[in-house]
Amino acid sequence: MTITIAMVAGEASGDMLAAHLMRAIRAHLPDARFYGIGGPKMMAEGFDARWPSELLAVNGYSEAIGRFHSLAGIRRKLLQDIRKTRPAAFIGVDAPDFNLWLEGKVKSSGIPAIHFVSPSIWAWRGKRIKSIAKAVTHMLCLFPFEMPIYERAGIPATYVGHPLADELPLEPNRIAARERLELPPEATVVALLPGSRQSEVSSLADCFISTAEVLTRRRPGTIFLVPLATRETREIFTEVLSRRDSSEELPLRPLFGHAVDAMTAADAVLVASGTACLEAALLKRPMVICYRMGKWQFRLVKRMAYLPWVGLPNILLNELVVPELLQDDATPEALADALDRWLKDGDACAALADRFTALHQELRRGTAEKAASVILPYLADAIATDAASAAPPAGESGEGHA
């Protein structure tokens, strides 16, 4: 039985979420076909990517405005395809600025529109709940505190947990991770994660490299691991690294991928705000969260924000449990100070790991399968229609006549 589902996933995190969901749906509908906008993990699951998810990775208002016309054109073309092919459902994975408009059009065409990953209306732009109500048939929430927002608005929603909590072990094996990365077991190791977007790496690479230089002077022999998600981000980081003025050797190892191993092996993590913060928390790692953007963008976002934190670990635990150094506060010296405090305080690291373990257990809900169980009933009409068209006409059987 062939059921077609249209999907749009933005960025590396959305690609991962969508790939897990595709696998879970195919456990029930082995012949299900998926098309739209997706990344390499989705394509590995057989996704027909008409456009790559990297196109949706924009950082801040100025970049979004600059690419508006090209993205709007892609969105219109995809909507035409959806209206023509009439998939059983549309699933928008994250990327709300792109997906919500599309979901509204799809829903008005009589196709169920499921949104996977609630927009951060609990952090800013809370008035979007009105447009979400018009656009979305069902919201799949990754975090438990999001559910009351949708219940108050009368929007069908389900808490499905976070797939990273299912994927990552409750007790990470640091020794094994160091062996895989060929690291000395007793070395001090710091993981540097400057983001998955090219714009993020461009903004943070120099600051992260300078932080490593400061920390190396304080702690000679420290090894720095820099996992980078794509060839483009690796090239950006390597180019910035090549411009160093210092003649001192910097024990810094760029990695192609291997972010989980790098964070598991590390004694502390310096990470750009985003999904990687949650990943570091689930790996029970002490971290320092950093972010930079254009000055006017930062002022606007800060004015519109509802919460005092940007990092998911702090938001989920409703407390500043890991330091956040943003914008002008994110200097190499300040970042090195914050990392050094974790490296000095084993008791604080152990207490933080206990809190992160409890958080991990709360978020572990079998996300992909739970999300699939919500989506399958919306596919029922298409399944029934497909089954009816495959059945022989009344009065005939599938067997030959005597």
State how far the alpha carbon of 322 is from the alpha carbons of 236, 286, 289, 313, 363, in Å.
28, 7, 7, 8, 19
User: Position of tokens 């790991």?
Assistant: 353
397 inside domain? no
Which has the closest alpha carbon to 11: 196, 200, 192, 201?
196
Q: Kindly state the tokens that stand for 249.
A: 């050797």
Distance between CA atoms of residues 119 and 128, nearest Å: 9
Which pLDDT score is estimated for 398?
A: 45
Total domains in the chain come to 2
Burial environment of residue 347 by CB neighbours within 10 A (0 to 12, 13 to 18, 19 or more)? exposed
Same structural domain, 301 and 255 = yes
352 inside domain? yes
Which pLDDT score is estimated for 66?
A: 52
Distance between CA atoms of residues 222 and 251, nearest Å: 7
Total Cβ atoms within 10 A of residue 94: 24
DSSP 3-24: -EEEEEE-HHHHHHHHHHHHHH
98 inside domain? yes
235 inside domain? yes
Distance between CA atoms of residues 313 and 294, nearest Å: 24
What distance, in Å, lies between the first and last C-alpha atoms of the chain? 29
| Domain that residue 76 falls in | 4-161+365-390
Q: Which long-range contacts (CB under 8 A, 24 or more apart) does 60-67 make?
A: 60/199, 60/293, 60/294, 60/297, 61/294, 61/297, 61/300, 62/294, 62/297, 63/199, 64/97
Same structural domain, 174 and 28 = no
Same structural domain, 70 and 175 = no
Same structural domain, 189 and 273 = yes
Distance between CA atoms of residues 97 and 110, nearest Å: 21
Distance between CA atoms of residues 170 and 344, nearest Å: 24
Which pLDDT score is estimated for 401?
A: 39
CATH code: domain of residue 68? 3.40.50.2000
Which pLDDT score is estimated for 402?
A: 32
State how far the alpha carbon of 176 is from the alpha carbons of 261, 334, 352, in Å.
9, 31, 22
Same structural domain, 371 and 355 = no
Distance between CA atoms of residues 103 and 8, nearest Å: 10
Pairing mode, if any, of strands 287-291 and 268-272? parallel
Same structural domain, 200 and 252 = yes
Distance between CA atoms of residues 330 and 323, nearest Å: 11
402 inside domain? no
372 inside domain? yes
Are 21 and 108 within 8 A, CB to CB? no
Distance between CA atoms of residues 229 and 257, nearest Å: 5
Q: What are the mean pLDDT values of the chain's consecutive 10-residue runs (402 residues total)?
A: 90 88 96 96 96 73 57 93 96 94 96 94 79 96 94 96 94 96 95 89 93 95 93 91 78 92 98 91 97 61 62 93 92 97 97 98 96 95 65 52 36
Same structural domain, 207 and 152 = no
| Residue 181: φ, ψ to 5° | -95, 5
Same structural domain, 303 and 372 = no
Same structural domain, 93 and 196 = no
Burial environment of residue 251 by CB neighbours within 10 A (0 to 12, 13 to 18, 19 or more)? middle
Same structural domain, 104 and 236 = no
Distance between CA atoms of residues 274 and 285, nearest Å: 15
Q: HEC states along 243-307? A: CCCCCCCCCEEEEECCHHHHHHHCCEEEEECCHHHHHHHHCCCCEEEEECCCHHHHHHHHHHECC
State how far the alpha carbon of 248 is from the alpha carbons of 157, 238, 339, in Å.
55, 17, 21
Same structural domain, 155 and 240 = no
Burial environment of residue 259 by CB neighbours within 10 A (0 to 12, 13 to 18, 19 or more)? buried
401 inside domain? no
DSSP 191-218: EEE--SSHHHHHHHHHHHHHHHHHHHHH
Are 41 and 17 within 8 A, CB to CB? no
Which pTM value belongs to this model?
0.81
The secondary element (H helix, E strand) that includes residue 70 is helix 68-85
Which has the closest alpha carbon to 368: 31, 114, 115, 24?
24
Same structural domain, 295 and 306 = yes
The secondary element (H helix, E strand) that includes residue 190 is strand 189-193
